[in-house]
Structure 1
Amino acid sequence: MFDFFRSSPPRCVFSGPRVYLRPPKWADQKEWLKVRGESKAFLEPWEPAWSRDALTAAAFRRRVHRVEQEWRSGIGYGFFIFDGKTSSLVGGITLANVRHGVVESANIGYWVGQAYARQGYMSESLQITLDFAFRKLNLHRVEAACLIDNEASRQLLLKSGFQLEGRARKFLCINGRWQDHDTFGILRTDDRPAVPVIERQ
């Protein structure tokens, strides 16, 4: 396994033409709170119910601790997404539930600030993360799920090379309710948009 997987926090940056991805740092707290706070009404319908302290320093610390622990244990890899020109935080993306052995798969989830939605940031970020999953982790398959009425996410996944595979009843508890989700998958051998990725540490 690569040394940066065990560092705390992990030290790596993956850059595409418009964005770069890296694990969260403590110094990101102020900007994370700002983007999440300004996007609260936009994000809440698509996410697990926010805790009462969701927009506090304590919540940010919990998130960073969890990301660091998951990187070290190899079960998850969380990234923040930044605009390549301004270095502004625009969202986050995570490979979770990473399994090896006969499965070699993971789940992917993401969020983007309201001010940056539908501008191509997440499309590129998905390809960078898939490159990481298939090239660095040597995974065979990545899965995703979205609420059945989340047309923006559905189109994003299809455009990114994922295939619609089915519908899972009451799959995740989103915004306080168990809700049906459409499920998607992509294999390492599937066609997907080509995005050049530069890695640095």
Structure 2
Amino acid sequence: MFALDSEHTLRSIRIGDGAALARAYAANREHLAPWEPMRPAEFFTPSWQEDDVKSCVEDAASARNARFVIESSDGVIFGRMNLNNIVRGAFRSADLGYWIDHTRQGRGLASRGVEALVAYARDALSLHRLQAATLVHNGASQRVLSVNGFGRIGLAPRYLRIAGEWQDHVLFQRLLDDDVSSREERP
């Protein structure tokens, strides 16, 4: 668990989070619609979310993904952060994704959450690299990545089907080994 501020923590998704996630997604349905794939109505139900939570927990146990929620001190979920498609071997990489509740934006939660996941990916998972993709017009998310040391590596035409259309994305990466070597060189 990582403290993001005095009232929000970042913690792993756990069994029983389905109802709270359904409430969070329902409260942010319009806010997230331009940034995510089109969602069927059942996506917003506690049963669908709890089934997804079970998959998330299984994926974490097998080290395929590491998924987290941003939770307030009273147990309300206000966002998600994910390390998806974790690959070991010579690649040692993962994809980073996140969203923040529309009522919590502008408070630095995304930036601090990404900072925590960078440290987790480097220190707990021993990854070499994180990649993230944003819609071309998502300046806020691009600023979060930039603040956290991610560099732009290219443009991926028609990368993901978002809001019902194949849309271009800007790709970013952060090499985590650089963090380790710079720490080792300090006196």
TM-score (norm 1): 0.82
Distance in structure 2 (CA, Å) of the matches to 1:16 and 1:81: 8
Secondary structure of 1:74 counterpart: coil
Match of 2:107 in 1: 119
Give the length in aligned residue pairs. 178
Secondary structure of 1:54 counterpart: helix
After superposition, residues 10-21 of structure 1 pair within 5 angstroms as: 13-18=1-6, 19-21=8-10
TM-score (norm 2): 0.88
Q: Given the alignment of the two structures, is residue 101 of structure 1 paired with residue 89 of structure 2, yes or no?
A: yes
Match of 1:62 in 2: 51
Q: Given the alignment of the two structures, is residue 142 of structure 1 paired with residue 130 of structure 2, yes or no?
A: yes
Q: Please tell me the root mean square deviation across aligned C-alpha atoms, in Å.
A: 1.6
Give the fraction of aligned pairs with identical amino acids, expressed as a percent: 29
**Gaps spanning 5+ residues in structure 1: where?**
1-12, 192-201
CA, structure 1 residues 121+16, in 2 after alignment: closer, same or farther (shift >3 Å)? closer
Distance in structure 1 (CA, Å) of the matches to 2:141 and 2:18: 26
Secondary structure of 2:85 counterpart: strand
User: 1:86 offset after TM fit, Å?
Assistant: 4.5
Aligned with residue 33 of structure 2, among 44, 47, 51: 44
Contact 2:17–2:53 (8 Å) recurs in 1? no
Name segments (4+ residues, structure 1) moved above 6 Å: none
Secondary structure of 2:115 counterpart: helix
Aligned with residue 24 of structure 1, among 7, 13, 17: 13
Distance in structure 2 (CA, Å) of the matches to 1:189 and 1:17: 27
Distance in structure 2 (CA, Å) of the matches to 1:149 and 1:128: 25
Contact 1:21–1:82 (8 Å) recurs in 2? yes
Match of 1:166 in 2: 154
**Gaps spanning 5+ residues in structure 2: where?**
180-187
CA, structure 1 residues 142+177, in 2 after alignment: closer, same or farther (shift >3 Å)? same
Match of 1:128 in 2: 116
Secondary structure of 1:111 counterpart: strand
